[in-house]
Amino acid sequence: MARTATLTIDGKTIELPIVVGSEGEIGIDISKLREQTGAITLDPSFGNTGACKSAITFIDGDKGILRYRGIPIEQLAEKSRFIEVAWLLIFGHLPKKDELARFSQRLTQNAPLHEAFKHHFEGFPVNAPPMAMLSAMINTLSCFHTHFLQLDDAEAFEEAAARLISKVRTIAAYSYRRSMGKPFIYPDPNLKYVANFLHMMFSEPYQQYIAPKEVEDALNLILVLHADHEQNCSTSTVRVVGSSKANMFTSCAAGVCALWGPLHGGANVAVLEMLESIYRGGLTPQQCIELAKDKNSGFKLMGFGHRVYKNFDPRAKILKESCHKVLNKLGVNDPLLDIAMKLEELALKDQYFVDRKLYPNVDFYSGIIMKAIGIPVNMFTVMFSIGRMPGWIAHWKEQHDDATARISRPRQIYTGPTITDYVPMDQR
Ligand code: ACO
C-alpha cells in the first residue's frame, strides 16, 4: 500500500502521499496542500524543501556520499576526464567511444568565438571582475546562436550543450586576458579541453604555453569535482530561470551570477584571502576561529560548513589529498597549506564546530591547488563556473524534458500592512 503522511489542520485531516527516492529518501508531496486546506508550507531558504525529482546526482550529507548518475565521486576523480563526466551528467550514461569522439569534436569546433562577439570584451573596463564578464558574455551567446534558443531535438541540444561547454572556457580565458590587458589567444584544435584552456590563459602570441601533465591533471580533477551538486543555489537558479522556458544560455548565465556570492562559489576566493590575511599576520589561526564563533563579528570560517554535508564533504577529502601531491610534484612549498591544515585541526576539535557539524567544504583546499598551478585568485570562481556548467546544462535539460514541469513560483506569508487608504500628498 502506498505510504502517506497524515496532517491535521483546524480539525480537518488529510492524507499526503509519500514519495520515495531510489536511495530510500522520503519526501511528503504537498502539491495539493493549499487546494485541500488553504495552507501553504513555510521553509525560508528551502532547507526542507524538495523542489523537483532528479536522477542526476545523489548526495547523502550525513554519510559524506556524492555520486554522479550513481557513480561514486571517488571513482570519477581517480579515473575520469572532465568531458566524459560532462557527458555522463547530461546524457545519463558514460559515453561510448563514438559518443565521446563526437562530443570532443564538437567541443573543438566550437572553441573559437565569433569575431564580433569578441569585440564585446572591449566594452568592459580592464578591472572588471571576471565573473561579471563571464555571466554577461554567456548571456550574449543568446544573441549569436539564435537558432539554438529553441532546443526541441536531440541533435540541436547536443550541439548547443557542446557550444556552451566549449565557449565558456574560451570566454573565461578571454575575460582573464582582458583583465590583464593582454591579447586574446586563439584556441588550439590540437589540445584537449583543459590543456586548451591553459593555453588560452597563459600562451603569448610569440610563445605557446603547454601545461605540464601534473597541472593539467590537477585542473581536470577540480573540474570533475565541481561538475554537479544537485539542487545547490546556482543550479536551483538555473532551474528557476529555465522553468519560465528561458533558453539554456540565459539560464546558465543566471547560474554564474548565483555562484559568484561568497557563501557559494565565491567562497574559494574568500578562503584564500582569509589564509593570506593570517599569513600576513592580520590574525592568528586561533583568533580566526574565535572570530568565526562570535556571531557579532559577521565573520565566518570560509570554506567551512555546508547546507547538506553534516559530515566530511567528500570533495574536500579528495582535494586535501591531491593538494599535497600537486604541491610536491610541482615543488611548491606554500605556507598557506600549513595554515589551512592548522585551521582545520583547530576547528575540528573546537566544540562550536563539532556541535554544528561544520567540516571543510570543496572550497577549503581548491584555492591552494589553483594557486599552485598558476590560476590567479580572481579567476577561482570562474574555474568553478567552467566545472559546474555540465551540471547546470544537465539540470536545465532534465527540467526541459519533463512534460509535467511547471513554472517555478513560490508563495509567501504576507506580513505587511493590511488594507490601507491612499493619502493625498498634502495630508501626509
Ligand atoms: N563559520 C562559522 N559558523 C558557521 C559557519 C562557518 N563557516 N557555517 C555555519 N556556521 C554556523 C551558523 O552560523 C549556524 O550557527 P547557529 O546554529 O548558532 O545559528 C550553524 O553553524 C549552522 O549553520 P547552517 O544552518 O548549517 O548553515 P547554512 O546551511 O545556512 O549555510 C553555508 C551553509 C552558507 C555554506 C555556511 O556554512 C557558510 O557560510 N560557510 C562559509 C562560506 C562557504 O564556505 N561557502 C561555500 C559552501 S560550498 C559551495 O557552495 C560550493
Task: Tell me the per-residue pLDDT of 208-254, one tens digit each, with 9 for 90 and over.
Answer: 999 999 999 999 999 999 999 999 999 999 999 999 999 999 999 99
Average model confidence (pLDDT) for the chain? 95
Decide whether any atom of ligand 1 lies within 6 Å of the 265 Cβ: yes
pLDDT digits (tens, 9 = 90+) for 118-133: 999 999 998 899 999 9
Shortest-distance Cα residue to atom 25 of ligand 1: 307
- What's residue 358's pLDDT? 95
Shortest-distance Cα residue to atom 41 of ligand 1: 302
Other beta carbons within 10 angstroms of residue 55's beta carbon come to 12
- Of the candidates 77, 68, 7, which has an alpha carbon nearest to the alpha carbon of residue 37? 7
Kindly give the distance from the C-alpha atom of residue 46 to the centroid of ligand 1, in angstroms, as a whole number. Answer: 15
Kindly give the distance from the C-alpha atom of residue 58 to the centroid of ligand 1, in angstroms, as a whole number. Answer: 21
Catalytic pick among 306, 313, 395, 400? 306
Least reliable range by pLDDT among 77-86, 305-314, 380-389, 414-423: 305-314
Q: Which residues lie below 8 Å from residue 220, measured CB to CB, with a gap of 6+? A: 81, 82, 194
- What's residue 18's pLDDT? 97
Query: Any idea what the Cα angle at residue 189 is, between residues 183 and 190, rounded to 5°?
Result: 115
Kindly give the distance from the C-alpha atom of residue 172 to the centroid of ligand 1, in angstroms, as a whole number. Answer: 29
> What pTM did the predictor assign?
0.95
Which of 287, 304, 350, 365 to mutate to test ligand 1, by most ligand atoms within 8 A of the CB atom? 304
Decide whether any atom of ligand 1 lies within 6 Å of the 361 Cβ: yes
Decide whether any atom of ligand 1 lies within 6 Å of the 363 Cβ: yes
| 363 catalytic per annotation | yes
Which of 361, 365, 385 to mutate to test ligand 1, by most ligand atoms within 8 A of the CB atom? 361
Under a CB-based contact definition with an 8 Å cutoff, are residues 293 and 352 in contact?
yes
Q: Please, how many CA atoms are within 13 Å of residue 202, restricted to the half-sphere of its CB?
A: 17
With 0-12 / 13-18 / 19 or more C-beta atoms within 10 angstroms meaning exposed / middle / buried, residue 413 is exposed
Other beta carbons within 10 angstroms of residue 375's beta carbon come to 23
pLDDT digits (tens, 9 = 90+) for 396-409: 999 999 999 999 99
- What's residue 282's pLDDT? 78
- What's residue 278's pLDDT? 92
Which set of grid coordinates corresponds to residue 106? Answer: 564538437
| 60 catalytic per annotation | no
- What's residue 1's pLDDT? 74
Kindly give the distance from the C-alpha atom of residue 61 to the centroid of ligand 1, in angstroms, as a whole number. Answer: 14
> Looking at the predicted structure, is the pLDDT value of residue 28 above 90?
yes
Which of 263, 289, 344, 366 to mutate to test ligand 1, by most ligand atoms within 8 A of the CB atom? 263
- What's residue 281's pLDDT? 85
Decide whether any atom of ligand 1 lies within 6 Å of the 266 Cβ: no
Decide whether any atom of ligand 1 lies within 6 Å of the 375 Cβ: no
Q: Which residue has the cell 570560517?
A: 301
Decide whether any atom of ligand 1 lies within 6 Å of the 234 Cβ: no
Q: What is the DSSP letter of 360?
A: B
Shortest-distance Cα residue to atom 24 of ligand 1: 307
Decide whether any atom of ligand 1 lies within 6 Å of the 34 Cβ: no
- What's residue 245's pLDDT? 95
Decide whether any atom of ligand 1 lies within 6 Å of the 367 Cβ: no
Burial 142-171 (b: 16+ CB within 10 A, else e): beebeebeebeeeeebbbbbbbbbbbbbbb
Catalytic pick among 145, 226, 363, 395? 363
Kindly give the distance from the C-alpha atom of residue 245 to the centroid of ligand 1, in angstroms, as a whole number. Answer: 32
Using pLDDT thresholds of 50, 70 and 90, give the confidence band for residue 64: very high
- What's residue 152's pLDDT? 81
Using pLDDT thresholds of 50, 70 and 90, give the confidence band for residue 147: confident
pLDDT digits (tens, 9 = 90+) for 153-211: 999 999 999 999 999 999 999 999 998 889 999 999 999 999 999 999 999 999 999 99
Under a CB-based contact definition with an 8 Å cutoff, are residues 234 and 259 in contact?
yes
Shortest-distance Cα residue to atom 19 of ligand 1: 295
> Looking at the predicted structure, is the pLDDT value of residue 151 above 90?
no
- What's residue 169's pLDDT? 98
Shortest-distance Cα residue to atom 46 of ligand 1: 264
- What's residue 283's pLDDT? 86
Which set of grid coordinates corresponds to residue 201? Answer: 590563459
**Ligand 1 nearest-atom number relative to CA 265:** 51
Kindly give the distance from the C-alpha atom of residue 302 to the centroid of ligand 1, in angstroms, as a whole number. Answer: 9
- What's residue 2's pLDDT? 85
> Looking at the predicted structure, is the pLDDT value of residue 139 above 80?
yes
- What's residue 97's pLDDT? 98
Region for 408 from its dihedrals, namely left if φ exceeds 0, alpha if ψ lies in -120 to 50, beta otherwise:
beta
